[in-house]
């Protein structure tokens, strides 16, 4: 694995905080990581990297505002074959749209030919454990899965 681009979709800051914590941990392990909290599709490398998309769901299953243009650009892309990605979704299980943004973005990337390299991690903000703690506990298994890429 050459590098990880952590793409943030966050309305209230929770997903951003999770992404920043993951980036810090990756960097301490010698893995290049860059956080994109205002992601621009044309500016994020798609080759020799892994996209780790960390997004919350906003409103009635919508994408956070900072991710809207990025998602629209993905919709316009013809082919994302060769792009490796994983998704972390943050949500609240008391809503029937729980983690819908993460699920929808994962399906969109798959429909464009991108390669999902690990199952989606869904974080419930109602859990006793903080979302960033759950994500940090998950990270070693994710690194093991993607280290061969």
| DSSP string over 76-88 | H-S--TT-EEEEE
Angle at which helix 100-111 crosses helix 68-76, to 10 degrees, equals: 20
Q: What is the mean pLDDT of the chain?
A: 92
pLDDT at 1: 60
Distance (Å, rounded) from C-alpha 92 to C-alpha 127?
9
Higher pLDDT, 112 or 11: 112
The rounded distance, in Å, linking the Cα atoms of 15 and 4 is: 16
The pLDDT value given to residue 129: 86
Whether 59 shows a pLDDT value over 90: the answer reads: no
Its pTM stands at 0.93
User: Mean pLDDT, to the nearest integer, of 2-25?
Assistant: 93
For 70-122, the pLDDT digits (tens) are 999 999 998 999 999 999 999 988 888 899 999 999 999 999 999 999 999 99
Predicted local distance difference test score (pLDDT) of residue 110 = 97
- Which structure tokens are listed for 60? 């009635």
- Determine the average pLDDT of the residues in 115-137: 92
The sign of the torsion formed by the CA atoms of 8, 18, 21, 12 equals positive
Return the percentage of the chain with pLDDT > 70, whole number.
Answer: 99
97 versus 149: which is more confidently predicted? Answer: 97
Query: From CA 124, how far away is CA 130, in angstroms rounded?
Result: 9
Q: For 55-60, what is the mean pLDDT?
A: 89
The span from the CA of 82 to the CA of 29, in Å, is: 25
């Amino acid at each position: 694995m050459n590098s990880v681009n952590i793409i943030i979709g966050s309305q209230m800051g929770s997903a951003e905080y999770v992404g920043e914590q993951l980036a810090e941990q990756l960097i301490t392990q010698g893995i290049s990581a860059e956080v994109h909290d205002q992601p621009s599709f044309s500016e994020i490398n798609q080759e020799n990297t892994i996209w780790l998309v960390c997004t919350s769901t906003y409103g009635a299953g919508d994408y956070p505002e900072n991710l809207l243009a990025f998602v629209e650009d993905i919709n316009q892309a013809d082919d994302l074959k060769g792009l490796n990605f994983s998704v972390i979704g943050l949500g609240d299980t008391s809503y029937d749209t729980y983690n819908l943004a993460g699920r929808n973005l994962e399906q969109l990337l798959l429909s464009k030919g991108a390669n999902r390299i690990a199952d989606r991690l869904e974080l419930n903000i109602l859990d006793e454990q903080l979302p960033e703690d759950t994500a940090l506990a998950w990270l070693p298994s994710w690194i093991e899965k993607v280290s061969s890429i």
